[in-house]
Chain A
Amino acid sequence: MTDIIADTSKSRSELAIIIAGVARDPLGLIGLIIVGSIVFSAIFASWIVPYDPIAMNIPDRMQGPSGTHLLGTDQLGRDTFSRVIAGGQVALKVALPAIFGAMTIGLTLGMIAGYGPKWLDNFLMLLFDTIRSFPTVMFALAVVALVGTSLQTVVFVVMATSIPTYGRVARTQTLTLRNSEFILAERAMGASMARILGVHMLPNIIGVLAVLAAMDIPTVIALEAGLSFLGLGVKPPTPSWGVLLKDGYALIRQTPWLVVGGGLPIILATLGFTFLGEILRDVVDPKLRKNR
């Protein structure tokens, strides 16, 4: 029991150090604020939105920004600001499970490839390369044609196409570590493969992958928006930043506010997560931390 408490307090203090390290850097602080705002607004979207994001009011369509509608209204008279906030929820609903799933699967397969026999390594690398050779949009088109558009389809497409990236990084890290003295010592003492990978290698790899994941989130958000822009994402009337952009593009000569509403959060999310990821990398990497 004492050990558990000690472990928890240790990990808490490490997390606090990382957050403090990120917040000390101006870019990191900006990133933290932006990401925090996006996550906060996504979690509490139903309390923040002034209007039902899917409620139509056709007589009030295509209005510009006003005190009533902060970002105006779309072609169906829906409040754009409410749809932007609700769109953030969709973006995170796609990005977080997709990245987590891709990281988990990629990490597992990558470590097995790096530590396992050569034939398995070759097989997994071939698998990763095969998946990577599919252009994401073409792959999405094929999947959508088979199972139809939905949030789950987008998550699956993003996850499937992201696995090789995590797998390759995990494999490289594992190959670097597999002949380290502490691993050789563990092996000499008869530790099982599961113990070596799970207890000794995982903590040394997870940090790198976490940074990679943080920097991948904006890519995934942009990918979700892109798929929704192409009609391969969420189904109407679910709001999505990509759908806002698509409608905005079609109606740009009538109202520019839909493009602003769809584009600005994508830009902010990209900046926020990128800043956060960059600084996070500096903080968790001891070599980079020393050079700061």
Chain B
Amino acid sequence: MRLEWKKASVGRRNFLRGATALGAASMLPMGWASRAMAQEDGVLRIRSYGDLSTMDPAHSVGVVDENIHASVYNKLIQYKPGTEWGWQMDAAAMIEQADATHINFALRDDIGFTNGHGAMTAEDVKFSFERIIADATESPNKPDMGPLSHVEVTGEREGTIVLNDPFAPLWTIALPYITGNIVSKAATEAAGGRIGTDPVAESGPYLRASWAAKEKTVLKRNPDWKGDAPVWDTIEILPIDDENTAEIAFDAGELDLTRVSLGSVERYRGGVPNGGALIENPSLYYVWLGMNLDHPKLQNIKLRQAIQHAIDVPSILQAAYFSAAAPSTGIIAPGLIGHRPSELVAPAADFAKAAELLAESGETNVSLTLDVLNKTEFTTTAQIIQATLAQIGITVEINLLESGAFWSSGENENLQLVLNRFSMAPDPSYATAWFTTEQAGIWNWERFRNEEFDMLHKAASAESDNAKRDEMYRRAQDLMEESGAYRFITHEATPVVHSSRVAPALRPDGLPLLRYFGKA
């Protein structure tokens, strides 16, 4: 065969015309196809900031796994969607606090496990809870179970949770969150006691149909589910780490729901594409500036108080959080027991007072380092702190750290100032736990040691009277602030956008409860 090469009659204009037509032809159908896919009735597409790491609740690494676990497993109780924290029955037909250390429960009789593992029994509850606290399991979530002793099985579907000590967070964290997921004893034991990235048996309103790492997790309606039927036939969870990318996908109609960056809130307030809506939820996270009380440069309480008064929180919220977050009064967010209505040091800087305190301290030529995680909101915040402290004559050098180095700062005895942000579960004990004396140098980077605080933390966890708990946690935060080691900044916010065809079911902090999602 002979090939003959001829000069193509493609001029510049023809080439441009052809290229434009080709581009348009290739892009338009793709756009239509993907939109049609996103709008396919019965398929809910949501974004998760991370990918599934395990189907084992004992080794769950947090919200990302829990989104899926909460859909394919059941708990005795689940969080209730809405704006106020609360719980509702799930696998439990009855649950009651018999006394301070005993909780009786009875399971529904219509919940079964897949793969032929039979009905859910009290033995499954016992197995699921006790394997979390068993040393052999090495569960990182063991602390969430607090002083759990064991579960007594009193009938096929009845049992009693027995605690060593009273533990109020059982109702707010242990049972309705990660550790509350009930797995099948038979299936887990048959799998050698460990569940990997594939479920061994499911029981929830959804089943995990497929998982493509870093691509997509697909949940399909469980045909054997006897409870309230979930509204969506299929849920596709797409792991998208970057919020800018997720926003572009949402705006293009590829997603039905995503968390958006605080910087985009103003834009979405002006209108959400495709008739969608913006929901602005407060978050439970807490951000603060900490001062290492063990460092020789920070021994003077007047100096620490001067720093507290010189930091202008409104400027930080405007520049780093785009005015989409409110100032915090402590480590416990609004809506939780123990939230303080106001702080001891007002959010706005008082430079006159700060200068006065600095003069009283007798410290001159103060130069400090400020360690921050290398993320734009933190570096922006750090630069504002640097600028505002400079106004009273304190020089701050900012150390940017990558996450590995930053999160080992507990061991850094030379740490001086640190800008920090902790995640939080919906119980105040989860916040105070990190600032006790025994946490000094571990997660308590300020090395704050206060006997009264330790006592309050312990007593409040065991207290069942919410009014008393509230008072205790408020006092605990007063003690933190009085030490001069903390300048509370914000709890951030969780802005979420959703498409017009979705009726989202969110926790009060904006995190999704997928099984309760409805259609608009």
Please say whether chains A and B are actual partners in one complex.
Answer: yes
A-side residues, CB < 8 A to B, are: 56, 58, 61, 75-77, 141, 144-145, 148-149, 230-232, 235-237, 246-247, 249-254
Report yes or no: B383 in contact with A237, Cβ–Cβ below 8 A.
Answer: yes
User: Does A231 contact B382, Cβ atoms closer than 8 Å?
Assistant: no
Q: Which residues of A contact B383 (CB under 8 A)?
A: 56, 76, 236-237
Contact of B386 among A58, A141, A232, A236 (CB under 8 A): A236
In the complex, which residue of chain A has the Cβ closest to the Cβ of B248? A253
- How far apart sit A237 and B322, CA to CA, in the bound complex (Å)? 20
Taking A76-B383, A251-B376, A253-B244 as contacts, is the C-beta distance between A148 and B399 under 8 angstroms? yes
Query: Which chain B residues lie closer than 8 Å to A58 at the CB level?
Result: 315, 318-319, 384
A-B contact pairs, 7 of them (CB 8 A): A145-B405, A231-B400, A235-B397, A236-B386, A236-B398, A247-B376, A249-B244
Least CB distance, B92 to chain A, in whole angstroms: 44
What 1/0 mask marks residues of chain B from 311 to 354 whose CB sits below 8 Å from any chain A CB? Answer: 00001001110100000000000000000000000000000000
Interface stretch of the complex, out of B98-106, B232-240, B260-268: B260-268
B387 beta carbon closer than 8 Å to chain A? yes
Say whether B379 faces chain A, with CB atoms less than 8 Å apart: yes
Q: How far is the CA of A144 from the CA of B400 in the complex (A)?
A: 10
A248 closest partner in B (C-beta) = B376
Residues of B within 8 A of A250 (CB): 244, 263, 375-376
Q: Is the CB of B376 within 8 A of A76?
A: no
Contact of A75 among B380, B386, B400 (CB under 8 A): B380
- A227–chain B nearest beta-carbon distance, Å: 11
A56 touches B376 (CB 8 A): no
Contact A231 B376 (CB under 8 A): no
List of B residues within 8 angstroms of A253 by Cβ = 244, 247, 261, 263-264, 267
Write the nearest CB–CB distance from B410 to chain A, whole angstroms: 16
Q: Are A231 and B263 in contact (CB under 8 A)?
A: no
Q: Which of A77, A231, A251 contacts B374 (CB 8 A)?
A: A231
> B383-414: contact bitstring with A at CB < 8 Å (1 yes, 0 no)?
11011000000000111111001000000000
B407 shortest CB reach to chain A, Å: 13
Contact B264 A236 (CB under 8 A): no
A230 & B374 in contact (Cβ 8 Å cutoff)? yes
A261 to chain B, nearest CB (A): 15
Per the bound structure, the CA–CA distance linking A116 and B477 in Å amounts to 70
A119 to B514, CA, bound (A): 68
Q: In the complex, A253 Cα to B320 Cα: how many Å?
A: 15
A252 touches B379 (CB 8 A): no
A252 — nearest CB in chain B belongs to which residue? B244
Which residues of the partner chain B approach A254 to less than 8 Å between Cβ atoms? Answer: 263-264, 267, 322
Q: Which of A76, A231, A247 contacts B402 (CB 8 A)?
A: A231
CB pair A235–B318 under 8 Å, yes or no, is no
Query: In the bound complex, do residue A149 and residue B405 qualify as a contact, i.e. CB atoms below 8 Å apart?
Result: no
Contact yes or no, A149 B376, CB < 8 A: no
Q: How far is the CA of A149 from the CA of B386 in the complex (A)?
A: 17
- A230, B397: Cβ atoms under 8 Å? no
Structural contact, B400 and A149, CB atoms closer than 8 A: yes
Rounded to whole Å, the gap between the CB of A78 and the closest CB of chain B is 9
The proximity string for B residues 229-261 relative to A, scoring 1 for CB distances below 8 Å and 0 otherwise, is 000000000000000100100000000000001
CB-CB under 8 A from B399, the residues of chain A are: 148-149, 235
Identify the closest chain A residue to B405 (Cβ): A145
Of the candidates A75, A144, A145, A235, the one whose C-beta lies within 8 Å of that of B398 is A235
B396–chain A nearest beta-carbon distance, Å: 10
Docked CA distance A261–B376 (Å):
17
On chain A, the residues within 8 Å of B315 by CB distance are 58
Q: Is the CB of A56 within 8 A of B387?
A: yes
Q: Which residue of A lies closest to B380 (CB)?
A: A75
Cβ 8 A contact of B376, one of A141, A230, A232, A246: A246
Q: Which of B379, B386, B387, B402 contacts A230 (CB 8 A)?
A: B402
- Closest chain A residue, CB of each to CB of B247: A253
Are the C-beta atoms of A236 and B402 separated by less than 8 Å?
no
**A231 / chain B contacts, CB cutoff of 8 Å:** 374, 379, 400-402
With A58-B315, A253-B261, A253-B263 already in contact, the answer to whether A141 and B384 are too (CB < 8 A) is no
Q: Are B263 and A236 in contact (CB under 8 A)?
A: no
Complex interface: chain A residues within 8 A of B374 (CB): 230-231
**In residues 279-332 of chain B, which contact A (Cβ within 8 Å)?**
315, 318-320, 322
